[in-house]
Amino acid sequence: MNFRTLLSYITPPKVPLLICAVLMLGGTCISLINPLVAGELTRKLLGEANTSGYSTALIILAWGALFAARSLLELANGYYLGLVGERMATELRNRVYEHMQLLPLPWHQARRRGQVLTLLSNDTDMISDFVTGTVLPLLPTSLTLLGAFVMMASLDPSIAILVTCGMPLYVLLLKIIGRKMRPLSRTWVDQYSELISRAEENLSLLAAIKSFSRERLEREAFRQENQQLERTWQRQLKLQTLLSPAVDLLAGVGVLTMLWLGSRHIEQGLLDPAELVSLLLYANLLIAPLRSLADVYGRLQQARGAAERLLELFSEQPEPLNDGGTPLPPVKGSIVFTGVKYAYPERKPLFEHLNLIIDAGETVAITGENGAGKSTIAHLLMRLIPASAGRILIDGHDISTAELSSVRAQVGLVAQHVLLLNGTIADNIAYSRPGASQEDIRKAAHAAHAADFIEALPQQYETIIGDEGIKLSGGQRQRLSLARTLLKDPPILILDEATSMFDPEGEASFISECHDLIRQRTVVLITHRPASLALADRILRLEDGELAPTLQASAT
């Protein structure tokens, strides 16, 4: 996996990163000096003649100062590493979220919400932790390995060569275990995503779960998936924990060999005891980075699955809102579909050759069986999904070559499933026009006949409505959705089963009120309810991918 490709989406903070590098370099230098100081202290204690002129107390004091300096450097480095990691995680989350928002609607429809949320949370955090906890510390680790080897070679070249003989075994061990860990890492990430998807879905359907008394069954299903996730993690853990004992075993054999060879060299006068002490401490400096490299390799395999998923996300082609097309001028609202074809992935085409003409200011109702493609026509008109063939025109302008944001600015949608935010009523109405004044918000609420129930609430327009407007009735949510669309003031209005949340009395009232709202607008009325058809100038029935006029009495 090319992590460099993924990291190209992130701009690391240069100053904190530079500070980290300096602090790590300083800590590495101190680590390489310590064995020399230990060797000098050994000479003093043994009373050898070839010692420096410094006293034992001064050497111990200097050694303590080095330990203190290294601790301070590690403290500062820990802070700046955390700073770098959080900034990188923040930027990566922003890039992931921005890319997700720009992906076309079919991409989101093909995935569970939990899978998408895992990309935004777990995967981005895993990459950030890998970079700051693994990749960046590789700099001092590599310098320590190189420096310790050079210092060992300067003291006793034969012992340094002996140490390098064990490296191929270490690398081979990493490759064998890594080959087994890689598929497990991807499996764990996928299973975690599915677990989050199940939890998100069940919590959003809690009322249905309770009404069908499925609490025990859902808890058991969640528990089983969670246990499967745990088993996968345990398999990874077993492989990863094999690395450290293996490194310790190799290190133990190496140290014993060094002691044997070093003692022979002392007997031969090629080495003194102080130098052997320094060699052993340098060997210890080698062991710690090698053990950390084993941990790095394990984390690399874990991060690989997250990186693959994020790169797959970034490889998806986004829909550009400002795509270089010609902006649509203010339109009157005529709509023409000519030979339009569309099929959902892995399904037979909904339309092979769909034709539709709606004059500006006309209200046309489209009826048909569930699944016939009525809502798909609305999505095609707003370019939420692309037509496979044919042309869609608004006031004679081909929307496929028009600037995407200008197309959607001309069309307002009141859908069957009302999408509301966990915020105030005012926030939800103003969502279609950021920065709208309170007066404009109130006017839109009055136009949608929502003002009566809003102003009867204690907090009125500042009332918090909960997730998806759960604190409101279905009819109240529908009126808020209509008010939001009217605030946008589009010349083309799509009412997609907009009366589905009303009882017969509420539907009759809504239809009566809509007569004033649809004046001077082009309205596409998607419905199967007879009462709503009273609004239409024409009624078309969608069947077998074709639109045909029908009498109101037989429209349903």
- Which residues are identified as catalytic? 497
> Comparing C-alpha atoms, which of 298, 379, 19 is closest to residue 133?
298
Beta bridge partners of 493: 412, 523
C-alpha to C-alpha distance for 548 and 543, rounded to whole angstroms: 8
3-state SS class at 212: coil
Distance from the Cα of residue 344 to its chain's centroid: 25
Torsion of CA 445, 446, 447, 453, to 10 degrees: 70
DSSP-derived secondary structure for 313-366? HHHSPPPPSS-SPBPPPP----EEEEEEEE--TTS--SEEEEEEEE-TT-EEEE
The encoded tokens of residue 182 equal 């890689």
The encoded tokens of residue 492 equal 């083309």
3-state SS class at 69: helix
Q: Strand 389-394 relative to strand 397-398: parallel, antiparallel, unpaired? A: antiparallel
3-state SS class at 522: strand
> Comparing C-alpha atoms, which of 529, 476, 474 is closest to residue 501?
474
* CB neighbour list of residue 234: distance below 8 Å, 6 or more residues apart: none
> Comparing C-alpha atoms, which of 499, 324, 462, 492 is closest to residue 401?
324
C-alpha to C-alpha distance for 489 and 239, rounded to whole angstroms: 61
